[in-house]
Amino acid sequence: MRSCWSLRRWASQPCLKENSSPKGISLLMFSSTIIPTIGRATLARAVLSVLEQDFDADDFEVIVVNDSGQPLPEEDWQRSPRVRVIETQRRERSVARNTGAAIAKGKYLHFLDDDDILLPGALRVFWELSHKNPNADWLYGSWRTVDNDGNQVDEFHPGLTGNIFALLVSGEGLPLQASLLKTSSFFMAGGYDPTPILTGVEDRDVGRRLAFMGTLAFAPIVVAQVRIGEVGSSTNWNKIAEGDRWGREKALQTPNSYRRMRDSATSRYWRGRVSRAFFASMVWNLKQRNLFLALSRLTDGLTMTGLNLFFPEFWRGLGTKIQ
């Protein structure tokens, strides 16, 4: 049985409903989709987007983590043998996701928000990608974004593969709604960090830790729809930015992080992006009066700069703001 020691302090003891141990599902299946919810009306659509996948090459399951503190309304999808519903009693989304991961039976974990959907054919795309790239820790595909009315805003086909640690530390991000994470790698990375300051950027934080230790494989097919509408949102964007800055500091303090970033910053443009991340960290640590860390970041930034200083591509990267 897979050990989940690394998540014990970050996962709530799950309370399973009677239908939470479905019959006929293997102990080790292809994927487990984990959907934390506070009972929004869009939950059924999210669940059905997975259950209705035309995929029979392997088994899969959906784990709905009810963090609302209230029973979910009875709906037909709850009677599916592929669905388990557990309760976490308002422990917030990182704990809810870790709790779902702790009981998952899939070789891969898929984290889906209750207002987003997996598009038709996505599981087959991921299954084929996993067989072409069996050593990849993180599988992902293209995705589209929509507003609150469901109107498409954009579509993304990043094509990033292999070691992308430098890219994520420099401010880029990949949505986990369009990703499958190897379960063993997720556990090895430590799962979601429920530290309150990371609320809203917890996906980016766990993504950096996964990218530090593993590699990515990409399929150029749109596999997920992600809502980015802001109407009615209570998000504090200044708090989000500070949380992401804190998360980047975590990444920079990881032993051997400089070497990992150097190896993944394969162009002068990305050397510029990484140098900016080091210099931004230097300024932040000076404000925090962490003088030793500030000096260390300055040294790393100058070392990364090196002779790239004489090339326009480097300056273009250096001038790109961290998102």
pLDDT by residue (tens digit) across 263-320?
Answer: 999 999 999 999 999 999 999 999 999 999 999 999 999 999 999 999 999 999 999 9
Measured between alpha carbons, how far is 105 from 59 in angstroms, rounded to an integer?
10
Residue 86 covered by a domain: yes
3-state secondary structure of 146: strand
Q: What is the total count of domains within the chain? A: 2
- Answer whether residue 81 shows pLDDT above 60: yes
Residue 173 covered by a domain: yes
User: Do 126 and 222 fall into the same domain?
Assistant: yes
User: Do 18 and 77 fall into the same domain?
Assistant: yes
User: Do 171 and 270 fall into the same domain?
Assistant: no
**Domain span at residue 293?**
265-318
What phi and psi values does residue 168 have, to the nearest 5 degrees?
Answer: -75, -35
Percent of the chain with pLDDT over 90: 81
Residue 257 covered by a domain: no
**Residue 5: per-residue pLDDT:** 34
227, two tokens: 């809502």
**Residue 231: per-residue pLDDT:** 44
User: Do 176 and 286 fall into the same domain?
Assistant: no
User: Do 269 and 230 fall into the same domain?
Assistant: no
Residue 252 covered by a domain: no
Sign of CA dihedral 228, 230, 234, 235: positive
User: Do 288 and 144 fall into the same domain?
Assistant: no
Residue 84 covered by a domain: yes
Determine the residue type at 278: F
List pLDDT tens digits, range 93-148: 999 999 999 999 999 999 999 999 999 999 999 999 999 999 999 999 999 999 98
Residue 259 covered by a domain: no
Measured between alpha carbons, how far is 111 from 91 in angstroms, rounded to an integer?
17
Radius of gyration of the chain (CA): 20
User: Do 206 and 59 fall into the same domain?
Assistant: yes
Residue 181 covered by a domain: yes
CA 214 from centre of chain: 14
User: Do 145 and 74 fall into the same domain?
Assistant: yes
Terminal CA-to-CA distance of the chain, rounded, Å?
A: 40
